[in-house]
Structure 1
Amino acid sequence: MSRPPANPTPHHGGDGDGWVTSPDGQTKRWGRYGASGTLAHDPDRGVLLQHRVEWSHFGGTWGIPGGARNSDETALTGALREAAEEAGLPAGHVRPRGEHLLDLGWWSYTTVLADVVRPFEPVVADAESLELAWVPLADVTTLPLHPGFAASWPQLTPHLGQRARLIVDVANVLGATGNGWWRDRAGASSRLLQRIAALSLTGVTAELAPAPLTRYWPETVTVLEGQARSAIDPSRPDRGDGEWLSAPLRVVRAERDGDQAIVDEVGRGGGAGTVVVTADRELRDRVGALGARTVGPRALLDQRPA
């Protein structure tokens, strides 16, 4: 548990700081461009919670480090900046898992679920916290929680644990593009792998995100077969500032049957939480019998890195 120093550093505001009032004039929320916060999960210690100072909005309650987003920030970068400012989250110590969006139309709050991949001790770095603590999941609801966090907690807990997986049938996805991929299967596969590598950093949305998450960062497995097996491993995107770690990405080069390799991958990790991208009906039936969900190639091809 971390408590504030004698003279905590004041919060350094950005252009997002300010109150927003609802159209009916009855409700106020902090953050001109919305707000976001980080729900950091350590499998050995629980989730990192912040005991809010009395003068803050809903002071005295427990919630997650967070605050107003600036105009040039995504929900993810804003949430991690706030966690660094309020809890001393070191760069490169978490990996995003998913985002949960509360959208009121006139204001929004995004909770970023993040896996702790390098353990760290929180530090009360500004005047907005009474204390910070790692709280076991079973003990969270015993605390006086911030109303917004209390309302979203039941929806968030199922996603703290086993990482969702995305398995891509590369040959089948290429077959849906119709861009002459058959003239250079290895080259076309290399380009597709590079697109998928970019998504492993910025996350995926829409059909690929498990409800109620609006964006998520799955462990991704791409399966190659035949001539495509010589495709080049994708270079991983570089954040440059090392703010967070990208989601795992693995390339499987099937010796013979790509479909069987995909079925084996689903069986190895369990079907729950696994999405397979393919339009092959027989393969969809086989992985569906193992509990995996399937989506067509367009659900992947329509994704654009944020």
Structure 2
Amino acid sequence: MNPIRTPSNDALLGLAREVLAIEASAIEALAAHLDQSFIAAHDLMLNCTGRVVVTGMGKSGHIGRKLAATLASTGTPAFFMHPAEAAHGDLGMITADDIVLALSYSGAVEELVSLLPALKRRGARVVAITGNADSALGRAADVHLDGRVAKEACPLNLAPTASTTAALALGDALAVCLLESRGFSRDDFALSHPGGSLGRKLLVHVRDVMHQGDALPVVENTVNVRDALFEITRKGLGLTAVVNEGGELLGVFTDGDLRRAMDKDIDLKTANIETVMTRLPRTIAADRLAVEAVQMMESAKVYVLLVLDEGKLAGAIRMHDLLQAGVV
């Protein structure tokens, strides 16, 4: 085992900066030699009626797994297939409707090259990302994407570093262009990521988390303040909606309204609720996104909103409910 060297901190930082500079330079160079082959690859994948099957060995395989995940989450059905497993049965997953995205910097990896005849027989089209257009993979591909780099960031120029970064960036460029061409939206993204914070923000609507039915505090405008207070206490939301006989929302009575009534020495047992309620309360529609309720609450500095559905009182929503739903 080689003895451990102890470079100085300055030397380590210098090496780290050099690695980043080499990899950044490799990505910049990709832009310089992008050509119509990229458009051809984009068009093949956009018009694919099957799936994009990403494959690669070793470090290229790790990059391929990430690209398959990125494609799948941005509107292009895709999965990763290991070349060695493909030769032992997984080729059965590939149809003539599929596009194979093959990654190999040398373009000569035996496990990958040996699959090419079988892929051709099945009628699958091949898009290759390599550093050598004249390689076996580069020549056999229907479309070849140039992923060559001037050198690896590894001081030995051996470990795949700049080359894998370049392949990853080129694959991401394809995924983003496909996303744009498909008109893939934030809502589409959320449907693919229901467990993430963005999914919660874009999929959860006010009606999903509002208090409704028997849990909704509401009194008619004929009651006195004391009865309204009983309703607030029973429902525990810190307010009650006030409606007329037909259920039309007239106002809201809150803890703040109670304090103002007490300051005026109003008799809470006899005063009608309409004399102390707040008219024209802030409301939100039941079909709005829950994140919009958060924005309204923060802007107005309130913690509860009444909810309307087709103009009728339908519920109430608290900031606490939004926190529990993971929207905030």
**TM-score of the superposed pair, with normalisation by structure 1:** 0.21
- Which structure has greater strand proportion? 1
* Greater radius of gyration (CA): 2
Q: Highest relative contact order (Cα 8 Å, sep 6+), 1 or 2?
A: 1
- Which structure has greater helix proportion? 2
